[in-house]
C-alpha cells in the first residue's frame, strides 16, 4: 500500500487510510525503543483495521545519525518533512551539556512553532510507584514551549555581548550586575501565553475535564510569570464566557463549569503530593512545565512511562518524555513504554482512537501480568524482559 500525506484543509486535519508518518530513530536507546514501539503500533493497527488502514513509515534524520549523513544534527530536509507530513514521531535526541550544539528538541519546537508541550500523566496499574495512592493522580500538563528561559537568548560570561548588556543595564537603568556573570533573557509574551491557554481550555472542555490550574511564580517575577497568569485568566473568562468560572469567584466548592485556578509554583509541588485528585489540566510557562512534568511523572513510576507531544496549530511531533540514556544503549534493556504510549497519543490525534485505546489496554495488561523491563522488574522482584521481548508480550495482549 503506497502512502499519502496527511493534509490540513478548512482548519481540520485530513487523514487518509494510508498516511505517511515520518519518524526519527533518535540517539542512545532511541533506535532500540523505536523498533520495539513500531512492532506494537503496527500490530494494533492490523488488529483494529484488518488491513483497511496502514501507516507507511518514513525515516527522517536528526541527531548523531544526521551528522553522519548530512554533517548537520538537524538538516533542513528533516524540518520540511515534519512540516509537510503534519504528524511525526521521534525517539530522544542527545543534547550536549555546556558545549556543542543547542538542544535539538528545543530547536524543533521553536522552528516548527510547536508551542504546546502536552504530557498526560496517569498511573498504569501494576507499576511500582513511590507514593501510596498513585491512582489519585490523573493530570495533563500543558507547557508553553517557545519562550521563557528556553528561548535560548543568553550570553557567555566574559563575552563581548555579555559585557555590552551589563554596561547597558548599568548605564541606562543603574543596575549593577557582576562582570563575571553569564546572562540570559526570559521573554513571556501575551500572544504565546494566550494561545497555549486557548489550547489547554479547549482540550479540557472537549475531554470533560474539571479544572485548569495555572502554575506560575508571579509573586516574584511579576511582569513575566505574573503577566502569564493574568493573560491566561483573560482568555479563560473573556473567550470562554459561560463555560468556565474562576476559582476566585466560586461561592461553592463544586461547579458544573470548568474551574480555572492558579497556584504558586513552589506550593504546587507540595499540593500535587498532598492533594493530587484536586488537579486536572495544568497550564505552565516553559521552565515550570519542565520541572513539574517530571515531578508528577515520578509519582506514577517515572518519566519512562509517560507519553508526550509537541503540537502547534496543526503540526504535531510526538516523543517520549525521557532522554537518550546512553549508558543503556545497545543492551536491549530500555523501557519503550513512553514511546509506545506517545504513539497511542498520536493515533488519538489523527482520529484512530481505537488504536490508541487498544495499545493502552495491552500495555497495562502486560505490566499487570508481571511482564516488564528491568527498570520496573527489579522493583517488583520479577524476571526482567528485554526491550523487544516486552513489546512482544504487549503484542500478544493486542492480538487476544
Binding site for Mg(2+), by residue number, is 290
Residue whose cell numbers read 550536549: 96
Secondary element (H or E) of residue 274: helix 265-274
Secondary element (H or E) of residue 262: strand 258-264
Q: Which three cell numbers stand for residue 251?
A: 461561592
Q: What are phi and psi of 259, to 5 degrees?
A: -90, 130
Residue whose cell numbers read 510557562: 285
What b/e string do you get for 210-246 counting C-beta neighbours within 10 Å, with b at 16 or more? ebbbbbbbbeebeebbbbbbbbbbebbeeebeeebbe
Q: How far apart are CA 102 and CA 73, in angstroms?
A: 10
CA distances from 18 to 56, 57, 177, 196 (A): 6, 10, 58, 31
Catalytic residues: 150, 217, 266, 290
Binding site, by residue number, is 94, 103, 105, 109, 119, 143, 290, 335, 378
Q: Please compute, for residue 214, the number of CA atoms within 13 A of its CA located in the half-sphere on the CB side.
A: 28
Amino acid at each position: 500500500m503506497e502512502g499519502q500525506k496527511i493534509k490540513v484543509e478548512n482548519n481540520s486535519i485530513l487523514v487518509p487510510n494510508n498516511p505517511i508518518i515520518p519518524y526519527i530513530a533518535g540517539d542512545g536507546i532511541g533506535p532500540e525503543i523505536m523498533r520495539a514501539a513500531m512492532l506494537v503500533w503496527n500490530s494494533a493497527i492490523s488488529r483494529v483495521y484488518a488491513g483497511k488502514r496502514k501507516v507507511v513509515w518514513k525515516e527522517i534524520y536528526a541527531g548523531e545519525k544526521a551528522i553522519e549523513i548530512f554533517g548537520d544534527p538537524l538538516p533542513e530536509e528533516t524540518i520540511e518533512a515534519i512540516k509537510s507530513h503534519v504528524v511525526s514521531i521521534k525517539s530522544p535526541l542527545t543534547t550536549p551539556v555546556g558545549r556543542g550544539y543547542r538542544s535539538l528538541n528545543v530547536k524543533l519546537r521553536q522552528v516548527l512553532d510547536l508551542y504546546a508541550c502536552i504530557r498526560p500523566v496517569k498511573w498504569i496499574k501494576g507499576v511500582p510507584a513511590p507514593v501510596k495512592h498513585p491512582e489519585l493522580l490523573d493530570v495533563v500538563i500543558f507547557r508553553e514551549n517557545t519562550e521563557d528561559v528556553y528561548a535560548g537568548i543568553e550570553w557567555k560570561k566574559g563575552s563581548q555581548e555579555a559585557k555590552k548588556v551589563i554596561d547597558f543595564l548599568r548605564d541606562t537603568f543603574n543596575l549593577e550586575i557582576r562582570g563575571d556573570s553569564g546572562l540570559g533573557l526570559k521573554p513571556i509574551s501575551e500572544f504565546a501565553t494566550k494561545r497555549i491557554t486557548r489550547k489547554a481550555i479547549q482540550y479540557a472542555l472537549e475531554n470533560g475535564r474539571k479544572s485548569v490550574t495555572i502554575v506560575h511564580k508571579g509573586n516574584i517575577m511579576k511582569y513575566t510569570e505574573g503577566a502569564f497568569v493574568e493573560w491566561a485568566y483573560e482568555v479563560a473568562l473573556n473567550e470562554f464566557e459561560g463555560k468556565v468560572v474562576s476559582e476566585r469567584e466560586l461561592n461553592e466548592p463544586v461547579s458544573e463549569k470548568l474551574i480555572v485556578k492558579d497556584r504558586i509554583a513552589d506550593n504546587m509541588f507540595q499540593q500535587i503530593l498532598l492533594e493530587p485528585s484536586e488537579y486536572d489540566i495544568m497550564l505552565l510557562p516553559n521552565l515550570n512545565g519542565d520541572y513539574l512534568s517530571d515531578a508528577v511523572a515520578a509519582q506514577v513510576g517515572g518519566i519512562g512511562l509517560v507519553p508526550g507531544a509537541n503540537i502547534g496549530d496543526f503540526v504535531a511531533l510526538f516523543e517520549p518524555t525521557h532522554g537518550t540514556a546512553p549508558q543503556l544503549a545497545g543492551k536491549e534493556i530500555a523501557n519503550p513504554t513512553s514511546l509506545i504510549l506517545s504513539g497511542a497519543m498520536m493515533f488519538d490525534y489523527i482520529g484512530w482512537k481505537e488504536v490508541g485505546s487498544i495499545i493502552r489496554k495491552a500495555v497495562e495488561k502486560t505490566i499487570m501480568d508481571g511482564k516488564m523491563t528491568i527498570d520496573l522488574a527489579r522493583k517488583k522482584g520479577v524476571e526482567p524482559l528485554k526491550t523487544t521481548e516486552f513489546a512482544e508480550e504487549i503484542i500478544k495482549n493486542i492480538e487476544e
